[in-house]
A and B are shown apart, each in its own frame.
Chain A
Amino acid sequence: MNRVFVYGLGAVSPAGWGVGALCDVVKRQEPVATKTLARPGWEMPFIIRQVPAPAMRPAFLTHARLRRANLISQFTVAAALEALGDDMASVSNGSLRLGIVMCVMAGSVAYSRRFFEETMRDPTTASPLIFPETVFNAAASHLAAYLGCPGINYTIVGDESTFVQGLAIAADWLLAGKCDGCVVIAAEEMDWIVSDAVRLFDRQSIHSDGAGALYLKSEIRSPRSEVELASITDSFPFTKLQTRSGAARCVREQLAADDNQLLCDSDTVHERKLWKDWRGHRISIKPLLGEAFSASAAWQCIVACDSLQHGDFAAANVSVVGANQAAIGARFIKANL
């Protein structure tokens, strides 16, 4: 890979709105408080970690496209704007061509469930305002509209590994000159139907929601280019030819991390076993913030980059072993300018 730099980070998580809140929780190693979520037809509620209401209503919610937008769109825009920082003005005035890669696993589940319930009751009264918001790329579309950004814009769906794959797509676009900057976002929203699904596969897992964003550019000369995306491993899908643990092993081999570096893993059974001999510093996000699918993978990358920005390490490795698609890894380094 030629040089691609991380120019900005953005996060919305159960820890709060902003990267600062996310990283504070990680530094304190204090799990975010849980709450309950009712499930229709059951007495026992789900235990979840959910994004708190923002201290102040975000200004972007006054935009015509975002007034009625679902939570996943709100999280997406908030994380992306934080990551873009001052460059937002350049995107809006057309002097910076921005690419957008949006990554989701569950997507807009709250409106999808609501629309399908309305359809089951009486399709003639199902809301035409809700249906368009159920489409996977609605959040990325709202972001593009808010920024006035007519450039290339992909929404990719898949498990947690998709976020790192999104970084690879962004890097390719930058290096091919398709855009001047690219924001890669992962976002998920809370709904009881997803909590129900999570419980079916892992009763210990605590469902959560939120978003994370990395803003990438290939320019070197900037005080914002402190962190470099050094490499991304191959994506190793879970097929008949390759088990999940085999895929996780391939990622470790390609990362070739050493003990003086940071490891941000996705805390799967496979990784716990595979990295048992790891003597370096290790951060696992999910025990602190819960299971937010693609957003969890984004938070792993954000924490890795934040630790490099603060000079804690010279390199940080991210290992993502997805739920049902692939394992993949990324390596970030303190940029040598």
Chain B
Amino acid sequence: MVVTGAGIVTALGIGWRTNADGFREGRTAFRPVTLFDVSRQRTKIAAEVDLPDSLPVTQLDPKTLRRIDRASRMLLLASHEAWTQSGWQGNASIPIVLGTTSGGMALGEEYLRQALISPRDQRHQPSRIANYQAQRQALDVCDAFGFCGPITIIANACASGSNAIGHAWELVRHHRAERVLTGGFDALCQLTFAGFDSLQALSPEPCRPFDAARTGLSLGEGAAVLTVESLESAHARGAEILGEIIGYGAATDTHHLTQPHPQGDAALATMTAACEMAGITPRDVNYVNAHGTATPQNDSTEAAAINRWAGERAATLPVSSTKASIGHLLGAAGAVEAVVSLMTLSGQWLPPECALKTIDPACNFPIVTKSTDARVDVVLSNSFGFGGANATLAFRRWK
């Protein structure tokens, strides 16, 4: 099972090239929030995406293009890049598996605001209801590229993107489909921002995952899409292969709704399962793209889990969290980090956390803090979410 197309939209920019340059250099993309009022929040920064004025040409009609929301725009941009790169054609049955936590929540917020403030004014309300739901964004992707397949939207909080890719991979692996379009997307919205702020999980400053003095997470937004297919399908088209997905583990941490088990039992289970499925050991892994939200609890739990899983290998195993550059993309995080993993395999470099000052002593492993060229053959990508949703993906360089 191979990846033949990848599209990415983050606050670092639109597309593989821009993002690869940004992640390789460890650039950060945080700035004051402009999308909604944060004047009364503790935290006032996030990693907002600069969206272009127009979208790439697809089969979407002008009316649809006028109504689509911010989340759909990011998803369409990422889908267009992946679709174009893969060389897939429309008029086919292609399943689509996406992860998201909020869909088009900004439209839902507009609906609720108007229903509360002007209850008798129903202008635009049906459209907001119809278009805030995540299936609408998935259907827009189908219409944009002229394909029609079953749609699965996985909403497993911050593991959604990884679960979506893992599920897509299993559809191909178990011969349920030859090709699957998969990924994740989430746009910044007030409800989520206020929610994390209410939990005092947001840092007033750009986040510093695995720093001993970390102060919480920073939110971001974006989308990433992969075209996953069987090797036979890719070969038949002579497609360029970006990398292989070789393992997937999913488990549930039942400790608490928002707090992980301190020893990271579920995280250990997913890393172990992904490696067993891939037939690899920690010695074979060259880099771990950590979930690394920069909350005190997540990072100490993840450190404990990586220490337990890697054993002696931990001492020389490079780890970093690219949330240091673009923040936490929630339902898109796992998908974006999957694309970053493919970038490291393709470019043979490791993404640094340049703002990290003092590594948390709980980490038995080195954190990448400087732009580093390296031999990268196998990468693990971790995603952990509210509700104890844990997932790990394993990728291998295509040779």
Contact = CB atoms under 8 A, between A and B. Distances in A.
B31 interface: no
B262 interface: no
A18 B151 CA distance: 31
A324 B136 contact: yes
Contacts of A42: 119-120
Interface of A: 39-42, 65, 100, 104-105, 107, 112-113, 115-117, 119-120, 122-124, 126-128, 131-138, 140-142, 144-145, 148-159, 162, 165, 169, 172, 176, 193, 196-197, 200-201, 234-242, 324-326
A153 B194 contact: no
B195 A115 contact: yes
A105 B132 CA distance: 11
Nearest to B130: A324
Contacts, number: 195
Contacts of B385: 137
A142 to B, nearest CB: 7
Interface of B: 40-42, 59, 91, 93, 101, 103, 109, 111-113, 115-116, 119-120, 122, 125-126, 129-130, 133-136, 139, 142-143, 146-157, 163, 167, 170, 174, 176, 190-191, 194-200, 250-255, 257-258, 265-266, 269, 385-389
A299 to B, nearest CB: 21
A308 to B, nearest CB: 26
Contacts of B130: 324
A144 B250 CA distance: 14
Given A158-B153, A165-B152, A135 B139 contact: no
Contacts of B153: 156-158, 162
Contacts of B252: 100, 141, 144, 149-153
B270 to A, nearest CB: 10
B157 A137 contact: yes
A200 B389 contact: no
A13 to B, nearest CB: 23
A158 B148 contact: no
Nearest to A154: B154
B109, B191, B200: most-surrounded residue (chain A CB, <10 A)? B191
A123 B41 contact: yes
A144 B387 CA distance: 9
Contacts of A235: 150-151
A124 to B, nearest CB: 6
